[in-house]
Amino acid sequence: MTPQILLIVGKSNSGKTTLVVKLIQALKERGYAVGSVKHTHDRFDFDKEGKDSWRHKKAGADATLVVTDSRVAMVKDDDRLPVEKMQDYLKGMDIIIAEGFKRQALPKVEIFRLDSNHKAPLCLDDPNLQAFVTDADIRQDVPREIPVFGLEDIRELTDFIESSYLVPGGRGE
């Protein structure tokens, strides 16, 4: 089964990571297999120059794994679309929670905070907006069909995610 991807979007310093962490914890407590993805605009390379794995990749290896008894990391060039990468590398999960990717045409939960110095939400006109999390009194601005949750309404938001995106009894199978 291909896991559903749910994006957590919002402007910088709006609390995306905090929300993602709370959602992962809540979904794990309910027994779901959860994959997570963090989008970055910067090209990054965690494989340090001069290290053996870096040398393997520089020599032409198409993919390099760094493996310990309890972890694995991969360095692989991959020009596919982000959704294809997420679903391929995180297959076997019940859901993938991805932070960022606001321009992707995937279901989104937007977080908007008053103290984040941002004037307006990002995705109110996005047809992929599925839920809105905020500490602002802007219910009148959010489309009527979009549920609005407070910053601490994690149980209620998790209930919404579970009923909307998860197959009962899926549990990573």
Report the candidate in 140, 151, 162 with the shortest Cα–Cα distance to residue 110. 151
Sequence-ordered list of residues with C-beta below 8 angstroms from that of 82, at least 6 positions apart, any chain: 37, 39, 101, 104
pLDDT band, residue 169 (cuts 50/70/90): low
Q: Is residue 51 part of a domain?
A: no
> Cα separations (Å) of 15 from 10, 50, 94, 114, 134?
8, 36, 24, 11, 10
- Residue range 92-99: average pLDDT? 96
pLDDT band, residue 152 (cuts 50/70/90): very high
1-54: per-residue pLDDT in tens? 789 999 999 998 899 999 999 999 999 999 999 999 998 776 666 677 888 888
Q: Considering the chain, what percentage of its residues have pLDDT values greater than 70?
A: 92
pLDDT for the residue numbered 165:
94
pLDDT for the residue numbered 102:
93
pLDDT for the residue numbered 128:
96
Q: Is residue 30 part of a domain?
A: yes
Per-range mean pLDDT, top range of 27-31, 37-41, 70-74, 169-173: 27-31
Q: Is residue 173 part of a domain?
A: no
pLDDT for the residue numbered 45:
63
Pick the more confident residue, 170 or 118. 118
Q: Is residue 48 part of a domain?
A: no
pLDDT for the residue numbered 150:
95
Domain count, the chain: 1
pLDDT for the residue numbered 173:
47
Which domain CATH number covers 110?
A: 3.40.50.300
Q: Is residue 61 part of a domain?
A: no
Question: Which residue range is the domain that position 85 belongs to?
Answer: 4-43+78-165
